[in-house]
Structure 1
């Protein structure tokens, strides 16, 4: 697994993720939760203008998440990341694999939705402000396939997000390390003794 590039000296933060990284992280989390609620609600709604608006909102938020994830990854490649929290090698490997999986799915879910919408032949607008170009031509059969793919990717993302969140809580509550604390603003939760070791070790 390649190591993250070292940040320029003026960007390094050895204690925790920086404010911009934290902002990207939590905005994406909020976006995913909102998308899940809207997505699971709108499919059971009867055909109506409200359902059309919900679909439009779902698509706009999906595009926003795609932009945020792109910016988040670009910033991480530029600014680097804090040193790894001490943990067993298998946990480092699992964490790295889960992060890669999250990035892949955070790109794949909105992109598959974009392709699905394009194949349906529907116009795609970002919050009604401007129209987003189609990625593929109208194709009913391909749309049906992408609908299944989009749903499968969505549930895979939700599962991995739950695993990721559970691991962070496990590390905070039982491992007593800084995994969760350093993705939150300073003082939101008390750092453990292990977190102090990361800072001063």
Structure 2
């Protein structure tokens, strides 16, 4: 079978790689956009940016759920045998934390919008009306709680990104164990 369907011992599937990089690019864009628009004055430009932020956030949520489903049904390539046990534990923790956060951050944003007393609609990419989370009361205090959770988890993603990128570069340039090549198909396995 092709690597589109099954992971090989050395590589992730094409589906896993595509979802990884698509979600990564979207999350980096969401973080940059969120930091940029956070302190903007209330204008139509800021409203427009928030609509795009919500659209891409829901996209991240849906893609992340698909990625989690794919990961649960397709075994990941084994970690290199030479890794220390604490490194393997750190890698597993980081991946579990990423899966949690890439779902929880957009979900917290959706809950925040749903709780807002302003009751602003969400229209994904100016085309698809998106409902509020059912059963969430519109309450400024509740909106504030979801906003704080959304922001703190976004900063946690930033910290994990730095850790993840650093570890990937260490594996490629120092360990030369082919770990980074599993997610970058055209990369030379041994750096």
**Length-normalised TM-score, structure 2:** 0.90
Aligned positions, number: 182
Q: Within the alignment, does 1:129 sit opposite 2:124 as a pair?
A: no
Cα drift, residue 24 of structure 1:
0.2
Structure 1 unaligned residues grouped into runs of 5+: 1-9, 194-201
Q: Confirm or deny: 8 A CA contact 2:172 2:179 kept in the other structure.
A: yes
Three-state SS of the structure 2 residue aligned to 1:11 is: coil
The answer (yes or no) to whether the contact 2:180–2:189 under 8 Å persists in 1 is no
Question: Residue 63 in 1 paired to residue 58 in 2?
Answer: yes
The whole-number CA distance in structure 2 between the counterparts of 1:54 and 1:12 is: 38
Let me know the Cα RMSD of the aligned residues.
1.4
Greater Cα shift, 99-108 or 39-48: 39-48
Displacement of 1:11 in angstroms is 2.2
Tell me which residue corresponds to 2:12.
17
Shift of 1:137: 2.1
C-alpha separation in 1, matches of 2:190 and 2:158? 29
Task: State the TM-score, normalized to the length of structure 1.
Answer: 0.86
Which residue number corresponds to residue 99 of structure 1?
A: 95
Where structure 2 has 5 or more consecutive residues not aligned to the other structure, the ranges are: none
The corresponding residue for 1:190 is 188
Q: Which residue of 2 aligns with 1:77?
A: 72
Q: Secondary structure at the match of 2:120?
A: coil
Alpha-carbon distance in 2 for matches of 1:133, 1:166:
38
